[in-house]
Structure 1
Amino acid sequence: MILAPLLAPHPPLAQDLLQARGGPSASHPLGTDDLGRDVLSRLLYGGRPALLGVGVAVSVYIILGMSLGILAGYLQGWTDRVIVAVMDVMLSVPVVILMLAVLAIFSQSNVAAMLTLGFLSAAGLARIIRSSCIALREELFVDAARVSGLSAARIMARHIFPGLVGLLLVQVCLFSGIALMVQTGLGFLGLATPAPAPSWGGMVGEASQVMEQSPSLLLISGGLIGLMSLAFGLLGDGLRDLNQDRKRGTGGRLRRPVPVAVAKDTAEGSDTPQDTGVLAVRDYSVAFATEQGPRTVVDSVSFTVSGGEIFGLVGESGSGKTVTGLSLLGLLAPGGTVTGGTAWLAGRRITGLPERELQRIRGREIALVSQEPMVALDPYFTIGSQLGEVIRRIGDVPDGKDSVRLRIRDLLTSVHLRDPDDIARRHPHELSGGMLQRVAIAMALAGSPKVLIADEPTTALDVTVQAGILDLLRSLRDERGMAIILITHDLGVVADTCDRAIVMEKGRIVEEGTVEDIFYRPEHSYTKKLIDSTPNIARTEGRIA
């Protein structure tokens, strides 16, 4: 419609009564109306106010609806209550009556009328966006962004909004059809775009008066409006399907982690560990609040991890090994509390640190690799985009795209991924499980941490891929001198990878020592049962294979 002056064969207001109600011809491809005006020219010019009105209404609808919906759904609390109350008021206002009042006040202004429509209709979009945002904020990749210390505004813009794009496209296209019908309806009534200025609604009104003499006029103008409304709906379906294909592979969700609550007595004590080691844990206990009272899940655990050592935390599910690792990062689930003991990282006490201090340590001093990288990676962004975000926050690289790009390439190369540039352009669902685990390890290495906690890094992988990941961990230990805490229930992994290990049962350490001692000279009955229940452990010529 912007090109109407170039495409229209005649001026839209030019009359020729001798050609009134003429049929299609070379000069008038769609014929003429009852005043001899060219129908095609009037359709081209009449699309301007129609589509302008739709554009104005849709712009307000998107900006206001998305803003209110995301703010209410993500921030919740009093913000949610205030916004929901405002939306209730907006939905209770009769739209048509208010639009007629606006037209009377603003001298038949098409823009003012459609602004009103977009403003009042935005409440419906905000409700839909709010509901989806509440669910999306619990995804693990949002948790990871929050734990990394990203501001709420950045999380909403970069991690929440992309997840709502598909839903937004459908709603916007549906609303565009509604806005078109409202605008043309106003034109039919002679409002918003008064005659003789051409408008689609006005042309329908004019054609309805001569429909017995020239029914084709009503068919042309009304048919165009119907086709445009249908096109908006089909466009929404197509864009939604395209967006779904792009983001397919979304992970599951877990409860949102919160900063660790620390009992008062754990904050007191020595600021220096009793012995050396990059990580030292002494008399460490963790409990969770239940209806029956606090339940201790980690009870007086003590261990030391040296630099360049792979240290195993071994035990069956529920033994407390993962809770121990997450508590060191301050990532206990709601209700979790460190009830006793102290942990030191490189000589600095980290138990009881405020959340802001923990955010500075995470990634730079101590990092985590989860057992399911697919649920920790954001499915809406490429691998390179997500690695770049981590690098810019904790990687300490010079500003500039080239520096970040080189660092991304180095990290992906360091975890033995071929063609790192191609990997960086891909989305998580385009990579295999082993490749995703390597990407997760690369992210954990972005801040060059002293300690890497690998929580069941091979559980979801097949045997051959497991071997590759374990080889990678060993090579990273050798190249970087980094301490690795390997949390696993697989004694075969421990035998193949770890230098020392502790065996945990019901939150307590029942065995500690070198791998050889644990496998060849186990002292506790629980350790013996674990070894006996593992069919893939074999003793060959005095060594563990």
Structure 2
Amino acid sequence: MTAIITSPETVQETGPAAPAPGRPWRGLLRQPLGLLSAGYLLLLVVVAAAGTLLTPRDPEADDLAHTLSGPSGAHWLGTDRLGRDVFSRLMVGSRPTLLGVAEAVLVFVVLGVALGMVAGFAGGRTDRLIARLGDLVLAVPGIIALLMVLAVFPDNNAAAMIAFGLISSPSLLRVVRAVTMAVRNELYVKAARLSGLSTPAILRRHILPRLAGPVIVQVSLFAASAVLAETALSFLGLATPETQGPSWGNMVGEAASVISVDPWLLVPTGGMLVVTVLALGLLGDTVHDLTVGRARGSAVRPVRRPRPAVRTAVAVAAADVAAAVADGAPTEQGAAAPLLSVRGLTIAFPSPEGEVTVVRGVGFDVARGECVGIVGESGCGKTVTARSLVGLLPGGGRVVAGSVAFDGRDLADPAGREVARLRGSRIGLISQEPMSGLDPSFRVGSQLAEVVRRHHRLTRRQSRARALELLALVELPDPASVARSHPHELSGGMAQRVSIALALAGEPDLLIADEPTTALDVTVQAEILNLLRSLRVRTGMAVVLVTHDWGVLADLCERAVVMYAGEVVEQAPVSDLYHAPRHPYTLALLAANPHLAAVGQELPAIPGTVPPPSAWPAGCHFQPRCGYATEECGAGAIPLVTVAGGHQARCIHVDRLEAAR
């Protein structure tokens, strides 16, 4: 498929905008406590790394003439029972403590985040297995586990802290799992799957950033507890005994042994522990607040007027394709066989009473370059049918019967491997709510370039250039400015155009538009419909349009499929449906047009409501609301029969409808 760069319209779309958020670390400068905590911890790390290079005295040098002396000019924090400088020993003793904390935090984060993301995103048996494993680890008393490790690896601080991180990781696993389960149901995550991104890419790009706040809080709290745990083990002589050098733990133990003689010795080491734990907690809270609040605030940012785009050779090639499609001339893709063929599609969802069928026996074809509309009331199965074509059924739904053939490939296989390969590349989807399909954490250009790289072997620079081309293709003014924007800075119409650009990033042959204008006002609806019509002509792609608006159907589609209560009740060319409907439901939908009502009269409506799948009547599903219903309508299943060339209806009273016209 060939793409085209067009000159953007001079009409300017505006909407609420917010200042582009900068790096969250810059906000640290406006948080005095957070900045002070970060400075203290950074200084502590430097001191621990430097070892004896920065100490004013040798931490192991004895001075028996000045034992247990208080603070003085020679010894700023006094001396211990052997006359060794307490300040120097605190500096050197920070190394084993911080190293042990770092080892525990690394294991805690790697296991907790990795297993939590996998469990929350995969669900099913994988989720249950990982959750049970975490519960099993939590059931083991932590102190017993640490003592067992130290019995096997005596005086090994690294083994003890790694074990501490391991037995503590299920607490982080639970938090990450819960957040991941909530985020995986966001529409922008489903849009990422639809774009063809792999599961690891979705986890890294769209799930992991949303975990930053909760993970930072949990890590800061765990790091503080790890400092205390390492100190306690060293205090008991189990992890870093005094013979291996000073550590904060064995210094606390030494101070405890002489507390009746010199209480001061406990103050420096205890003070360091208290300050370090407080600094970790304050820094975690500050970074969490900066991370989750960096996108807040609003302002109005002017949108610069676009410069005319340069018409390239790619545009000329696309114009040739458009002319061929407009004139009805055959193209290279214009084969006689349909691009999409759906036969006997049946979809079921799990329920406490067992599986419930929500779509039954649906069948239709879509030719190359054709626009087919699926129309009907809410609850008729339109969206479920459309999403089954790309393997994105929600809530455990599955295809239980029928076939979906796309260019000769079966998309209804239970494993879903074939549709996963085609999704986002040859098949694109536009959802009802464009803003929910965009990740709020990333700029528009970044998200679009990511999808381009997924489907085309391009460098990052080439991907960014192609993203700007796509934004120009959907006629956005100033594509560069839009690419630098976050989703919350876009208006509804701009967000819908970006969603269309994402769907076009893989250059699809088939575009599924699931009520793409529902959330937009009338003016923007018209612009989006004109854009879809223009894109069809330029690219020659086929379109399946899900809608409940007969005006949209007549404006874009050549053929229409009318669905009611999970079944196709009629399908025909759009002009035939308008002038000669052959099913009472189609006739009732057309008669319910509010524009047909005179001023002061009650708006026309179909009596009753669409029955839920669990309450479908026997025979014709529309019979309880149908004015033509007879006893024969409920005697058995009503077949879909051909009543004229290309016109099918699921009704036994076709002749009565014909006579009533």
Name the TM-score class by shorter chain.
Answer: 0.7 to 0.9
Report deviation, 1:536.
6.7
For the structure 1 residues 293 and 24, does the alpha-carbon distance in structure 2 shift closer, same or farther, using more than 3 Å as the test?
closer
Aligned-partner Cα distance in 2 for 1:147–1:390: 10
Residues 298, 320 of structure 1: 8 Å contact kept = no
For the structure 1 residues 330 and 102, does the alpha-carbon distance in structure 2 shift closer, same or farther, using more than 3 Å as the test?
closer
Structure 2 SS opposite 1:11: coil
Aligned-partner Cα distance in 2 for 1:467–1:18: 92
User: What does 1:299-378 correspond to in 2, within 5 Å?
Assistant: 301-302=363-364, 304-305=366-367, 307=369, 309-333=370-394, 334-337=396-399, 339=401, 345=406, 348=408, 350=410, 352=412, 355-378=416-439
Residue 542 of structure 1 corresponds to none
Residue 177 of structure 1 corresponds to 224
Residue 112 of structure 1 corresponds to 159
User: What does 1:501-540 correspond to in 2, within 5 Å?
Assistant: 501-506=560-565, 507-510=567-570, 512-514=572-574, 526-527=585-586, 530=589, 533-535=592-594
How high is the sequence identity, in percent, across the aligned residues?
49
Aligned-partner Cα distance in 1 for 2:505–2:196: 15
Aligned-partner Cα distance in 1 for 2:152–2:509: 68
Residue 201 of structure 1 corresponds to 249
Query: How does the TM-score come out when normalised to structure 1?
Result: 0.78
Does residue 455 (structure 1) correspond to residue 502 (structure 2)? The answer is no
Q: What value does the CA root-mean-square deviation take over the aligned residues?
A: 3.9
Instruction: Give deviations 1:159-210, integer Å, cap 9, x for gaps.
Output: 4444433332222221111111111122333443333632222333333445
Residue 348 of structure 2 corresponds to 288
For the structure 1 residues 535 and 222, does the alpha-carbon distance in structure 2 shift closer, same or farther, using more than 3 Å as the test?
same
For the structure 1 residues 235 and 408, does the alpha-carbon distance in structure 2 shift closer, same or farther, using more than 3 Å as the test?
same
Aligned-partner Cα distance in 1 for 2:218–2:177: 13
Residues 344, 362 of structure 2: 8 Å contact kept = yes
The total of aligned residue pairs comes to 508
Structure 1 SS opposite 2:380: coil
Residue 275 of structure 2 corresponds to 227
Residue 7 of structure 1 corresponds to 54
Aligned-partner Cα distance in 1 for 2:399–2:115: 35
For the structure 1 residues 316 and 288, does the alpha-carbon distance in structure 2 shift closer, same or farther, using more than 3 Å as the test?
same
Residues 194, 390 of structure 2: 8 Å contact kept = no
For the structure 1 residues 51 and 508, does the alpha-carbon distance in structure 2 shift closer, same or farther, using more than 3 Å as the test?
same
Aligned-partner Cα distance in 2 for 1:70–1:280: 36
Residues 197, 451 of structure 2: 8 Å contact kept = no
For the structure 1 residues 118 and 374, does the alpha-carbon distance in structure 2 shift closer, same or farther, using more than 3 Å as the test?
same
Query: How does the TM-score come out when normalised to structure 2?
Result: 0.66
Report deviation, 1:457.
0.8
Specify the code of the residue in structure 2 equivalent to 1:166: G
Structure 2 SS opposite 1:198: coil
**Stretch of structure 1 that moved more, 116-125 or 98-107:** 98-107
Report deviation, 1:24.
4.4
Residues 328, 351 of structure 1: 8 Å contact kept = yes
Residues 338, 365 of structure 2: 8 Å contact kept = no
Aligned-partner Cα distance in 2 for 1:107–1:324: 63
Aligned-partner Cα distance in 2 for 1:223–1:141: 48
Report deviation, 1:145.
4.9
Report deviation, 1:464.
3.5
Structure 2 SS opposite 1:486: strand
Residue 386 of structure 1 corresponds to 447
Specify the code of the residue in structure 2 equivalent to 1:454: A
Unaligned runs of 5+ in 2: 1-47, 298-334, 599-661
Residue 42 of structure 2 corresponds to none
Report deviation, 1:360.
3.2
Structure 2 SS opposite 1:442: helix
Aligned-partner Cα distance in 2 for 1:199–1:280: 70
Specify the code of the residue in structure 1 equivalent to 2:293: D
User: What does 1:31-430 correspond to in 2, within 5 Å?
Assistant: 31-76=78-123, 79-80=126-127, 82-84=129-131, 86-100=133-147, 102-103=149-150, 105-145=152-192, 152-195=199-242, 197-211=245-259, 214-245=262-293, 276=336, 279=339, 281=341, 285-288=345-348, 295=357, 297=359, 301-302=363-364, 304-305=366-367, 307=369, 309-333=370-394, 334-337=396-399, 339=401, 345=406, 348=408, 350=410, 352=412, 355-394=416-455, 397-430=456-489
For the structure 1 residues 417 and 332, does the alpha-carbon distance in structure 2 shift closer, same or farther, using more than 3 Å as the test?
same
Residues 54, 176 of structure 1: 8 Å contact kept = yes
For the structure 1 residues 328 and 178, does the alpha-carbon distance in structure 2 shift closer, same or farther, using more than 3 Å as the test?
closer
Structure 2 SS opposite 1:3: helix
**Stretch of structure 1 that moved more, 455-464 or 187-196:** 187-196
For the structure 1 residues 472 and 179, does the alpha-carbon distance in structure 2 shift closer, same or farther, using more than 3 Å as the test?
same
Report deviation, 1:369.
0.8
Specify the code of the residue in structure 2 equivalent to 1:177: A
Instruction: Give deviations 1:498-535, integer Å, cap 9, x for gaps.
Output: 455454444334474446x6667778665565456555
Aligned-partner Cα distance in 2 for 1:209–1:353: 72
Residues 194, 428 of structure 2: 8 Å contact kept = no
Residues 285, 296 of structure 1: 8 Å contact kept = no
Residues 301, 509 of structure 1: 8 Å contact kept = no
Specify the code of the residue in structure 2 equivalent to 1:469: I
Residues 278, 451 of structure 1: 8 Å contact kept = no
Aligned-partner Cα distance in 2 for 1:380–1:100: 44
Specify the code of the residue in structure 2 equivalent to 1:448: E
Aligned-partner Cα distance in 2 for 1:344–1:35: 84
Specify the code of the residue in structure 1 equivalent to 2:449: G
Aligned-partner Cα distance in 2 for 1:40–1:292: 71
Aligned-partner Cα distance in 2 for 1:527–1:406: 47
RCO (CA 8 Å, sep 6+): is it higher in 1 or 2? 2
Residue 5 of structure 2 corresponds to none
Instruction: Give deviations 1:105-148, integer Å, cap 9, x for gaps.
Output: 54522222222222322343334434444444444444455566
Aligned-partner Cα distance in 1 for 2:50–2:595: 74
Aligned-partner Cα distance in 2 for 1:204–1:328: 66
Does residue 482 (structure 1) correspond to residue 541 (structure 2)? The answer is yes
For the structure 1 residues 175 and 405, does the alpha-carbon distance in structure 2 shift closer, same or farther, using more than 3 Å as the test?
same
Aligned-partner Cα distance in 1 for 2:80–2:428: 74
Structure 2 SS opposite 1:2: helix
Aligned-partner Cα distance in 1 for 2:158–2:232: 15
For the structure 1 residues 440 and 538, does the alpha-carbon distance in structure 2 shift closer, same or farther, using more than 3 Å as the test?
farther
Unaligned runs of 5+ in 1: 250-274, 540-545
